[in-house]
Structure formats: C-alpha cells, structure tokens
Amino acid sequence: MSTPRTGATGTQPAEVAPTGEPPRPRGRVRRRAWTGAAAALVVVLVVVLVVALVVQDDDPPGRSADGTGDTDTGGGGAGGVLPQEGVALLDLPRIPWEGGPEYWSRFPAAVAAGWTDPSFFPVVAWYDGISSDEEVQYDRGVGINTYIGMDAATPYSLFADNGVFWMGSRLNESFPEDGANWPASFLDDEVDGRFTPEDGRAHLEQLREDLPPDRPAYANFTQTVVSTDMSDADAEAYVNDYSDIVSVDMYWYTIPFCDLRPFRGSVYLQPIREDTCRTASSYGAVVEMLRERDAADGRLQAVWQFVELLNGGPGEGPFTAEIEPGQLQGAVMSSLINEARGIVWFNQSLSGPCQGGNLIRLSQVQQDFCGAEQVAAAAEVNGVVRDLAAVLNTQSYEWDAGPGLDTMLKAHDGSAYLFAMVDGSQDPGERTLRLPPGVEGTTAEVLFEDRSLPIDDGVVVDTFAEEHTWHVYRVALAEDQP
C-alpha cells in the first residue's frame, strides 16, 4: 500500500467509552480510483435462530459451498450459506446468510477477539493514526472499533488497552502472534486498478499464502469488479478466490463520475440511473452488485462497504463536492439495508476546501474544524449501528414492502424490524409499507425519531422527505409465531 499523506491530527462528537471496556460499535491517504467503468444467487433456505448464537466449529477456516464443511484454504476463506439453529420468528423465506457470529466463529482469531458477540458490528477507520489512549477513546466515541492502515511504530497496547482491533500485518515486535486485538488480516487495496487481471491474481495469491489461516483476510476493490468493463471470469476471481471479507469503494456523492459524459451508468451489473446517480441508493446498489459477484461460486463471504467521511475525490482531480451529513448517514443505511456486514470510513479528504489525512483526529484537536459536522453525523449513525447490532447480526427475511422502496426485514426478541428508504426509482415523498403476516402490533415505533405510526390492515404510511431519508420501524410479533 502507498504511504498515507501526512495530515493534521472539533468538538467531542459523542460519548467516550471507558478505557478497557469491550468495543461498543456505535450510532485513505491513497489515491482513490474514480475513472474506469464501473449469477444468480444460490439460495439455501434453512431454519435459523434470530437471536444470534456463537457456533463452535472445530473445522479449520475455509470456504464451504454448503456452510457445513470446508474446502482447501489455498484461496478464499470461510464462506457458504451458514445454517443457524433454532426457529424462525416469521413464517417467511430467508436471504442467503453469511453474517453475524456464525460467520466469525469460523476464524479462531475472530472468536478470541469477541467478534462472535451479537452486539459487535465492524465499524472501521481507514488510516486513522493513534498515539495515545485519549485518541483511541475519542475514536470510540465516534463509533470506531477497528482500524486499517497505521504507522508502523503504533504499539499493540493501544489496541489491547482500549478494546479496539487491528486489521493488517504485524506492525512491530509489540504485536503478539496470538493477540486477541489482532483478529483479521488485510490483503491489499484496489489491486484490480493497479494490475492486469493475471498479475493481480498472482499478487493476491502470494499475499494470501503468507497470511495466517486463523484470521479472516480482507480485500478492497474498485468499482470495476461490479461492472462489465471487466470480464465476469476476472471479476469473480478477484472477488471470490482470495478473501474472507470484501468491499468496493465508489464515492457517488463526491466524485465526478455522475457528471461525466457520456454517462456510463449502464456498465454496472445493476444499471445506475443518471437522475439518481448521486444518491444514497447507489451505495446500496454497490453492495447488492458485490453480493451478486460473491455468490457466483455458491460460497459467501462478508461484504463490507466504504463510505466517504467528507470527500472521496482524488487529490489530482477536480473537486466535486463534500458529502453532506444527511447523505453520509443515508449512504450507510442504504448499505446496511442491502446487507453490508461492516462499514469502513474513508477518513481522508484529498481535494476541495477542507482537506486532511485524518479527519477524525482533526475533529478532535482543531477548533472549528471544517469537517466537524460530518464527523458528528458519522458518530450519530455509528450509534444507530451500535444500538441495532444484535438485530443486524440476524438473518433477514425475504419481503417486498411495496413499490419505490428499498427495505430489509429482520426479527429479534419478539419484534419485527423493517429498515426502509426510497429506492431511487421514484422521487422522495409518501410511501405505503406493507408488513408481513405474523406482525400483530397496532402501532409501528419509528426508532431514533421519538414517534409512532398507526398500522391499518397491515400497512404503514410514512414520508421520506429526502432521497437519503431512512426509517427503522419496530413492531410486535404475534405471540403464536412458529
């Protein structure tokens, strides 16, 4: 990876957890590629447990097509459609599942780190240097529990003493090989944008061979792997053959792509409309497209999502925009609705009037920091993720809540949870949301908004004021559900 640009190190954006407590997930400098263009899912329906349990697996890590065994570990890591024990809380089919404690239980290092706790959901800072407990605790207040990209002199004690995690190679001699706060490895970034497919595969294969098998390996790619500008065979090999966690960075709100002519939204596995290109729905579409690529081999891995904390444009390119607080939160929620299993914050801004190599740290030490509003918005949505982690770590149900909507349905602890946004096919405004059979509540509590809505004949009517508006509804389940 290239060396991060030196950046300065606002107001305290959120409560700070005490040093030494377990992580509480709450609610680059790299040149980011923005040029270049941009299967059916194998569905295994299983009876599952909504309250996520730690599944002990004596098999070594390895990707499995059926979720019950392992193939060789010469390429990818744990995967498959994972079974859960217990009963479903709704009489509906489930989406293919590779999330929650069941997935992390396949990796001994992740188990030792506590990633199998249902209350843990990865919220990652990309290049956020830490040099003191105070800085780590501030980051935890923003909702960060995991780091990628760090100065080689960073002591392991900063992770261990503050209940946060490192993903990457061994930084220095202070890192014990069996350190519980070092649960995952990082392969590389944007290999598809820096190598030919043949050279890129060879590069990733060599990197994978050198990694310990007990830690899940993470790789990030450019938009090319979810486009038709790369052959299906090459894209699927990149996505499926080397990693256990995968993501794509595409910063729709803040890069020039949506303004380029001719508009090239048709090159993606899911065509992106020109009139809704620069919306939160495009972030969710990337997750859905990447999940499609990942499912091509019938073996699933955790799909994470990058979101820019301020600006994702390249330093040498034209400045497009800074992401607005509401857009930032909408991008995260759209990604979660489309089944992202982790959020990675792009923690730099390389162009425009507000620049920095570590935006979170700038918000801590610089009065009137120009990106303080965005960092505070990130802390707020990370708090939502923290509060709903036990829900997010359950297997979703297949359910169509109505036209013009992008939704995710889950059930946990006697309640149904419907996450909802507009889908980019229509203008924002009023929507009618259908609730599934088995939901008996007469009112829907709108979480984080201090309001409730009546349920009339299984229907909720609500307003989505902006394209990035999101709502989470909680409704009681019928007591006689199977």
Q: Tell me the one-letter amino acid at 407.
A: T
Provide the 10 A C-beta neighbour count for residue 354: 16
For the cut 90, the answer to whether the pLDDT of residue 23 exceeds it is: no
- The share of the chain scoring above pLDDT 90, in percent, equals 78
pLDDT for 459 equals: 98
For the cut 60, the answer to whether the pLDDT of residue 4 exceeds it is: no
Q: Tell me the one-letter amino acid at 391.
A: V
> By mean pLDDT, which of 85-89, 260-264, 459-463 is the weakest?
85-89
pLDDT for 317 equals: 81
CATH of 405-476 among 3.20.19.10, 2.60.40.1180, 2.60.40.10, 3.20.20.70: 2.60.40.1180
Q: What is the pLDDT of residues 160-214, one digit of tens each?
A: 999 999 999 999 999 999 999 999 999 999 999 999 999 999 999 999 999 999 9
167 DSSP 8-state letter: B
pLDDT for 81 equals: 54
* Mean pLDDT for the chain overall: 86
Q: Please compute the mean of the pLDDT values over residues 91-100 and round it to a whole number.
A: 96
d(CA 371, CA 309): 8
Radius of gyration of the chain (CA): 21
> By mean pLDDT, which of 77-81, 222-226, 227-231, 426-430 is the weakest?
77-81
pLDDT for 88 equals: 64
d(CA 348, CA 362): 10
* Alpha helices (runs of H) in 280-435, residue ranges in sequence order: 280-294, 325-337, 359-365, 372-387, 389-392
pLDDT for 105 equals: 98
Do the beta carbons of residue 199 and residue 230 sit within 8 Å? no
Which superfamily does CATH assign the domain made up of 113-392 to? Glycosidases (3.20.20.80)
Q: Please compute the mean of the pLDDT values over residues 13-22 and round it to a whole number.
A: 34
pLDDT for 47 equals: 33
Domain chopping of the chain, boundaries? 113-392, 405-476
d(CA 98, CA 446): 28
Do the beta carbons of residue 90 and residue 83 sit within 8 Å? no
Q: What is the pLDDT of residues 406-424, one digit of tens each?
A: 999 999 999 999 999 999 8
Closest C-alpha among 40, 1, 34 to residue 223: 34
Closest C-alpha among 470, 459, 467 to residue 408: 470
For the cut 50, the answer to whether the pLDDT of residue 356 exceeds it is: yes
Q: Is the dihedral of CA 5, 8, 9, 10 positive or negative?
A: negative
Burial class (CB in 10 A: 0-12, 13-18, 19+), 18: exposed
Q: Please compute the mean of the pLDDT values over residues 379-395 and round it to a whole number.
A: 99
Q: What is the pLDDT of residues 333-342, one digit of tens each?
A: 999 999 999 9
* Alpha helices (runs of H) in 33-132, residue ranges in sequence order: 100-104, 108-113
pLDDT for 221 equals: 99
Q: What is the pLDDT of residues 188-200, one digit of tens each?
A: 999 999 999 999 9
Q: How, if at all, do strands 443-446 and 471-476 pair?
A: antiparallel
Provide the 10 A C-beta neighbour count for residue 298: 18
Q: Please compute the mean of the pLDDT values over residues 276-282 and round it to a whole number.
A: 98
Q: What is the pLDDT of residues 113-129, one digit of tens each?
A: 999 999 999 999 999 99
